A and B are shown apart, each in its own frame.
Chain A
Amino acid sequence: MNLMTAVEIAASGLSAQRKRLEVLVSNLVNANTTHAAGQEPYRRKDVLFVSSAPEQTFGSALDDAMLSVRGVQVAGVVTDESEPLRRYEPGHPHADKDGYVLYPNINPMEEMVNMLSAARSYEANLQAVTTAKDMTQKTLEIIR
C-alpha cells in the first residue's frame, strides 16, 4: 500500500503541472489579444502551487501521516496585475484616441521556457510513478 502513496503524490504533481501548462498555453495563445473580454487586453495568468497536507489527501496507512510527505495542489490561478504594454499603432481598430493600443504584458519566449520547465517536471513525476510501479511488481515476486 505504501508504494501506492508515492503514486498518489506523483499523480498530484502530474495534475498540477498539467494545469500549469494549460495556463501557460493560454498566455502564449493570447499574447496579442488586445480585447479579451470587453475593452481590456488579456492579462497574463499564473498558477499558485501549494503543498497539500497528507491527512487531507492521501492514504490511510498510519505512518504516512507521521511522515511529512506532501503532494501539490493548484491553490488558484492568479492574474498578473501589471500594466499592459502600450504600443503606438494609430491604424489599429482598437487604438485609443491617441493612437495607442494596449497589449498583454506577455513575453512569448518566457512562456515557452516556462512550458519546457512544466514539461520537464511532468516527466519527472511520471518517472516517480513508473518507479513505484516497478517496485510493487518486484515485491510480488517474493512469493513467486
Chain B
Amino acid sequence: MKIGFPDDATLAAVESYLGRLTRRQQVIASNTANIDTPGYKTEEIPFHATMNELLSERTQQLRVSRPQHRGGASGAAGPNGPPVFEVENLPSRPDGNNVNLEQELLKLGQTSFAYTSIIQLLRVKFRTIASSINEGRIG
C-alpha cells in the first residue's frame, strides 16, 4: 500500500511555475540593473505557461541536479529552465539600450503578485489536505 500524495501533477506544475516566476523576476532585475548599459536589449520570460510546458521544464530540472563546475560559456535559455526571449519591437535610445523602466516596474509588480497569490493558494491546499487527514482521527 503506497501513500500517494493527492494532486501530484498539479503540485509539480505549481512548483515549476513558482520557479518560472522566480527566474522571471531575475530577468526583470537584470533589465532594471542594465537600464543605462549601452547596447543592452530587454529580455523576458513569458508570464503564462501551459501545464505541459511546466511539467516538462520540471522533469528536466530534476534530471540535472548535480552541481556543475562553473566556467565556460553557457548558452541562454538552456534546456534547464524557462525560455528567455529578447523582446521585439522596442524603441532604442541613442546608446542602443531599449529597456523601458516603467514596463519593467510593472512586470515586477505583476510577477510578485502572482507569486504571493500562488503561495497563498498552496497554503490553503496543504491546509485542506491536513484537515482531511486529521478529521475523524482516532486518538
Contact = CB atoms under 8 A, between A and B. Distances in A.
A142 B119 contact: yes
Contacts of B38: 49
Q: DSSP class of A's interface residues: helix, strand, loop or mixed?
A: helix
Interface residues of B, number: 51
Contact of A66 (B35, B65, B81): B81
Contact of B67 (A60, A66, A131, A139): A60
Given A9-B33, A67-B81, A142-B122, A135 B104 contact: no
Nearest to A2: B22
A17 to B, nearest CB: 8
B76 A66 contact: yes
Contact of B26 (A5, A50, A118, A125): A5
Contacts of B18: 139
Interface residues of A, number: 45
Nearest to B23: A67
Nearest to A15: B33
A95 interface: no
A127 B70 contact: no
B116 A67 contact: no
Contacts of A125: 29, 32-33
Interface in A102-133: 117-118, 120-121, 124-125, 127-128, 131-132
Interface of B: 18-19, 22-23, 25-30, 32-38, 40, 43, 61, 64-65, 67-68, 70-81, 84, 101, 104-105, 108-109, 111-112, 115-116, 119-120, 122-123, 126
19 contacts: A9-B29, A9-B30, A10-B29, A16-B36, A49-B38, A51-B34, A55-B71, A66-B79, A66-B81, A67-B26, A68-B84, A72-B37, A124-B101, A125-B29, A125-B33, A131-B109, A138-B119, A138-B120, A141-B119
